[in-house]
Copies of this chain bind each other. A is one copy, B any other.
Amino acid sequence: MDKFIVLQDIITSRRSTKPAVLNGRKIDDQQIQQLLSLANWAPTHANTEPWRFIVYSGDAVQQFCHRHAELYKQSTPPEKFNTAKYEKQQHNGDKASHLIAVYMQRGTNPNITELEEICATAAAVQNILLGAETLDIAVLWSTGGSTLAPAMKEFLGTGQGRPHDRTAVHGVCGRTRQTRPPPPHRTQNKMDQRLSGLTPENLFFPSRCFLSKQKLRPITG
């Protein structure tokens, strides 16, 4: 089959699945291994391979979620504390099979920027999401709750002696028997409307490409 078509199908079928609709069935550890082997082939400047994963399975998934909720409670002023959010966080792992915490380990090469290391790690996560789609594994790429809080970094132990490491995300993986929601909406035409009259011969404007009058100036000048 045409490889582009297969890839397009995977990419456009991929979507986030909320932990609440998981059905509790477990995923083989081997399939999680398969996902991480895909992550390991993300592009990386100077082969720093900054992506790091901590995988939780079994009881550790719920433990993680309980600790995550506690971190939220501890780090939120009482007047901002939301009980419903706290309880939701506590139960996010109840029907999950695995939980993967992902962080970027900052290398020591001064020529490699933090942005490059973050982008490499994000590309690794995208490989995981696409792989999960092919294996019918439901995933939520979560950066919510306390994921990005300093307390989470400490909790994961990624901070010791490495102040520049960044907790990126955590992903809740599981199975779902329910019909998944339709693919997310993507705006295809909104940007095109901004391009009228701005198409000089040697600049090519695809859908979703945005070029303001300001941007043209340096090219023609």
Work out how many copies of this chain go into the complex.
2
- Identify the interface centre among A7, A67, A207: most chain B CB within 10 Å of its CB: A7
Interface string of A163-175 (1 = CB under 8 A from B): 0001011000000
Interface residue? A34 (CB, 8 A): yes
Binding stretch for chain B, among A72-80, A82-90, A153-161: A153-161
Interface residues in A41-82 by Cβ distance below 8 A to B read 41-45, 47, 49, 51-60, 63-64, 67
Q: Would you list 21 pairs from A and B whose C-beta atoms are within 8 A, ordered by A residue? A: A3-B6, A6-B6, A6-B7, A7-B7, A7-B10, A7-B134, A8-B34, A14-B43, A37-B207, A39-B208, A55-B203, A55-B204, A55-B209, A57-B203, A64-B219, A105-B210, A115-B168, A119-B121, A155-B218, A157-B218, A160-B214
